[in-house]
Amino acid sequence: MKHRSTLKRVLHYIADYRLYLAASLLFAVLTVVLTLYAPVLTGNAVDYMIGEGHVDFDALFRLLVRLGVVIGATSLLQWLMNLCNNHMTYKVVMDVRTEAFDHMHELPLSYIDSHPQGDIVSRLIADIDQFSDGLLMGFTQLFTGVMTILGTLLFMLSVNVGITLVVVCVTPVSFLVASFIAKRTHKMFLLQSETRGELTGLIDEMVGNQKIVRAFGYEKEAVSRFEEINGRLEKHSLRAIFFSSITNPSTRFVNSLVYAGVGVSGALSAIGGGLTVGQLSVFLSYANQYTKPFNEISGVVTELQNALACAARVFDFIDQKAMTPDVSNGPEIQKAEGQVDLKAVDFSYSKERELIRDLNLHVEPGQRVAIVGPTGCGKSTLINLLMRFYDVDGGSISVDGYDVRELTRKNLRQQYGMVLQETWLKSATVRENIAYGKPDATEEEIVQAAKASHAHSFIRRLPHGYDTVLSEDGGSLSQGQKQLLCITRVMLCLPPMLILDEATSSIDTRTELKIQNAFAKMMEGRTSFIVAHRLSTIKEADRILVMRDGKIIEQGTHESLLAQNGFYAELYNSQWAV
């Protein structure tokens, strides 16, 4: 059932290119007609050479000229057909991949966070490539194969009905063999595709974390996991290939029966005067052409099974429920004043484990709010909710009196500048990485932002300065240098509100002091949320929120919280304990 629905969706994509499809079918018909007409000319040529001294050279020459024209026209039409098929296939594949990539940006982060990145990459690249290969083979060989079978039967019927019936009687055996094998290959190819995605996920995980793997001596366990998944992939691949590989020999056996039947019955008919030698040669040629498409179609069916299995995984990704759409014609904030309110907020990543419950918070414009607490208390979750990476389960969050669900996500996120503990840089120049959030920034603005973040000095020491091309995720730059570039990126945009989630965790103490001064200047007049583990960095915060088990258990200034001698004081003193 799923197999049929996948095929219907593929046909739906193809429908957008129906003109190319119609042209391909037309060229396929003309190619087959001319291909089948060539044996007729060859058979007539044989009859023009009855024996020694009985050769009609004039008629034979005219036939050879006509045969040359037919072969040339066939080649041209076949080229045009392939041109249409290639265009149609890669347009369809482009549409599917574009839709899948676009949908990835519409998926809730809960889906991205809960699925291996390698599996998602495998669906968008490897599975779609497999799909395109099968689709192209289907267009190229399926059309001509079917047309050749039908056309050959018609031509044979026009020559001799009896021998044609011999061919027709043996034909169903080939269909039965192909159908039997096709039903069993789809499930196996689907398992193969799923396991390939699992293996891609593991490799992506191991390559991206190779330092951790080696630091903790995880090589043997990694190899063991790889061998287990790779073994399953081998098993599924061998079973899929085994069944698909017996298709061609099976159909060839049936085709040999057809050819033998035509040869024997045709020879008997020729002896009895029912056929000329030329007509017998035509029949033998048709028998060969008739059986050849069955071999091709059987191979096509196998590839289509693989293609549809891969397409099913891609469509499953596209069908994942998108995040709640933005409200149309909602309000838009040009530049937020910075008042933030959380009222009775409830949230949890999993229904089985409660995280934030009845959280209330009021932040005045321009306030610097620090968020502290033990690991897993909900600090980063609160940031996710402020940025609307996740929507609250209950209650509301508002900015300047507007419920964030009334604003578009883009408009809301334009109000925040965000520096995370985890750095991210794209494969581009240093300049392009800094201007990621402000592509139209001038050279002067970029340099000033770099100087403010104290990144300018190390950028100048790079081989090509601001034009140095960085590899994926910063390449050879140190973690601290990558974090400085991320800070520079925010300093360039200077949005009305800031979120700093352990923004200086990878920077040396001397540079950190300079960055803290730069941050202090940048935060003037801007509502700022600072997540920190080192409590010494947030002494100047206007307000400190102490979180525990998803709730704010204490709040106040650094001095007032120390005076309370509560949980904050315990956390602060523990960092100075000897």
Beta-bridge partner residues of 552: 547
- Lowest-pLDDT range of 109-113, 191-195, 302-306, 566-570: 302-306
Tokens of 388: 């609307």
386 has a pLDDT exceeding 80: yes
Pairing of strands 394-399, 402-403: antiparallel
Task: Report if residue 504 sits inside a domain.
Answer: no
pTM of the model: 0.68
pLDDT grade for 52, boundaries at 50, 70 and 90 = low
Q: Of the candidates 318, 349, 372, which is a domain's last residue? A: 318
Nearest to 188 by CA among 240, 142, 133: 240
195 has a pLDDT exceeding 60: yes
Kindly give, in sequence order, each residue whose CB lies less than 8 Å from that of residue 82, ignoring residues fewer than 6 positions away.
140
- Mean pLDDT, residues 68-77: 90
Query: Do the beta carbons of residue 453 and residue 519 sit within 8 Å?
Result: no
- Lowest-pLDDT range of 316-320, 495-499, 532-536: 532-536
| Better pLDDT: 367 or 280 | 367
Q: Of the candidates 318, 349, 380, which is a domain's last residue? A: 318
559 has a pLDDT exceeding 70: yes
Q: State whether 295 and 362 are in the same domain.
A: no
pLDDT in tens, 424-472: 788 888 899 889 888 888 999 999 989 888 889 889 998 889 999 887 6
10 Å Cβ neighbour count for 476?
8
Top mean-pLDDT range of 21-25, 267-271, 403-407: 403-407
How far is Cα of residue 261 from the mean position of the Cα atoms in its chain?
50
Which CATH number is 49's domain given? 1.20.1560.10
Q: State whether 395 and 282 are in the same domain.
A: no
SS3 for 28? helix
| Better pLDDT: 13 or 145 | 13
% of residues, the chain, pLDDT over 90: 6
Kindly give, in sequence order, each residue whose CB lies less than 8 Å from that of residue 386, ignoring residues fewer than 6 positions away.
340, 397, 416, 499, 529
Nearest to 449 by CA among 402, 410, 486, 396: 486
SS3 for 282? helix
- Mean pLDDT, residues 291-311: 73
Q: State whether 345 and 311 are in the same domain.
A: no
Half-sphere exposure in the Cβ direction for 135 (13 Å, CA):
30
Domain count, the chain: 2
Which CATH number is 547's domain given? 3.40.50.300
Q: State whether 87 and 151 are in the same domain.
A: yes
Q: CA 262, CA 300: separation in Å to the nearest integer?
A: 26
- Lowest-pLDDT range of 65-79, 195-209, 241-255, 475-489: 241-255
Q: State whether 541 and 407 are in the same domain.
A: yes
Q: CA 75, CA 82: separation in Å to the nearest integer?
A: 11
Task: Report if residue 177 sits inside a domain.
Answer: yes
Task: Report if residue 424 sits inside a domain.
Answer: no
Domain that holds residue 575: 338-415+535-578
Q: Alpha carbon of 546 to those of 75, 354, 394, 578: distances in Å?
A: 78, 18, 22, 23
Query: What does the pLDDT read at residue 578?
Result: 41
Q: State whether 314 and 359 are in the same domain.
A: no
Task: Report if residue 444 sits inside a domain.
Answer: no
Query: What does the pLDDT read at residue 2?
Result: 58
Q: State whether 259 and 382 are in the same domain.
A: no
SS3 for 530? strand
Q: Both ends of the chain: CA-CA distance in Å? A: 67
Angle, CA of 79, 84 and 87, to the nearest 5°: 120
Question: Which class for 326: exposed (0-12), middle (13-18), buried (19 or more C-beta within 10 A)?
Answer: middle
User: Helices (H), strands (E): how many in the chain?
Assistant: 21, 10
- Lowest-pLDDT range of 243-247, 324-328, 355-359, 412-416: 243-247
388: left (phi over 0), alpha (psi -120 to 50) or beta: left
Q: State whether 24 and 140 are in the same domain.
A: yes
Tokens of 444: 């002067």
536 has a pLDDT exceeding 70: no
Q: State whether 345 and 305 are in the same domain.
A: no
% of residues, the chain, pLDDT over 70: 88
DSSP strands (E only) in 147-300: none
Q: CA 338, CA 364: separation in Å to the nearest integer?
A: 7
Task: Report if residue 458 sits inside a domain.
Answer: no
Query: Do the beta carbons of residue 371 and residue 530 sit within 8 Å?
Result: yes
Q: State whether 347 and 308 are in the same domain.
A: no
Task: Report if residue 497 sits inside a domain.
Answer: no
Query: What does the pLDDT read at residue 186?
Result: 66
pLDDT grade for 520, boundaries at 50, 70 and 90 = confident
324 has a pLDDT exceeding 80: yes
10 Å Cβ neighbour count for 147?
20
Query: What does the pLDDT read at residue 73?
Result: 92
Q: State whether 270 and 385 are in the same domain.
A: no
Task: Report if residue 14 sits inside a domain.
Answer: yes
Q: CA 361, CA 342: separation in Å to the nearest integer?
A: 5
Task: Report if residue 311 sits inside a domain.
Answer: yes
- Mean pLDDT, residues 518-531: 82
371 has a pLDDT exceeding 50: yes
Q: State whether 304 and 390 are in the same domain.
A: no
Query: What does the pLDDT read at residue 278?
Result: 72
- Mean pLDDT, residues 396-412: 90
Beta-bridge partner residues of 356: 347
Q: Of the candidates 318, 348, 383, which is a domain's last residue? A: 318
Q: CA 95, CA 205: separation in Å to the nearest integer?
A: 29
230 has a pLDDT exceeding 70: yes
Beta-bridge partner residues of 417: 498
Place of tokens 């091309």: 469
